[in-house]
Amino acid sequence: MILAIDIGNTNIVLGCIEEKILFVSRITTNKQATQDEYAISINNILKLHKIDPEKIDGAIISSVVPAINNAVYGAVKAVTSHEPLVVGPGIKTGLNIKLDNPAQLGSDRVVGAVAAIAQYPKPIIVIDMGTATTFCAINELGEHLGGIIYPGVKISLDALTQMASNLSGISLTKPKKVIGSNTADSMKSGILYGNASMIDGMIDRFEEELGKTRTIVATGGLSETIIPFCKHKIIFDNDLLLKGLKIIYDKNVE
């Protein structure tokens, strides 16, 4: 059994994996939290899911928040008595990255691509909707060609409510119709259908360059909210990054 941790800008996703994922949990990413505070959070989550830390055989971390890497690394070591692998230079992933500078590819995008290639028919578009929304293009050879990054759903909504004085916060529930007849429904429609339309349009543009894709897969905290409003057939896989972390862990402990 391994402990897999994906550190994002908004949330830290963690889970224990044997042959299958035993649980998935989330804690808030906190740049001010200490190693001990993260250790307490991880230990409490393991207790909540009735996982004995002594039965954990290893751990792996992916992070896009370098400022907390040392604290989480130390916390995992304290809780499990294992030094975790960290996705980055020197770690075997098996991913052929065709970027101008492969080192610039975020570890979350590496992990997602590794999982998608292992699980789904190629070519593949991988969509990850978190703090940022990212697309990754994978060709029929399993090569990572590149992608896009644009502001995520919550960033867009927060910017709208903070910068426009007359617009207040809303819940992301489905509006009655696309053409809103009040401010709240107009905002909901703009965020939900606007992001869905952006995803649909970007898929069309990717396929113009990549060719017709066999698989479009989405992951990330906000995918489940937006993907149902898209017109393309998109597979929702909320555990994609944890699956990728398990694959990478296995490649490095053989």
- CB-count exposure of residue 26 (10 Å: 0-12, 13-18, 19+): middle
Count the residues in the chain.
Answer: 254
Asked, as a colleague might, if the bond just before 89 is cis with ω within 30 of 0, I would say no
Q: Active site includes 108?
A: yes
And the tokens for 138?
């994978």
Find the radius of gyration of the CA atoms of the chain: 19
d(CA 177, CA 199): 19
Single out the catalytic residue among 6, 108, 128, 237: 108
Please enumerate in sequence order all residues whose Cβ is within 8 A of that of 198, keeping only pairs 6 or more positions apart, or say none.
150
Please enumerate in sequence order all residues whose Cβ is within 8 A of that of 44, keeping only pairs 6 or more positions apart, or say none.
none
Catalytic positions: 108
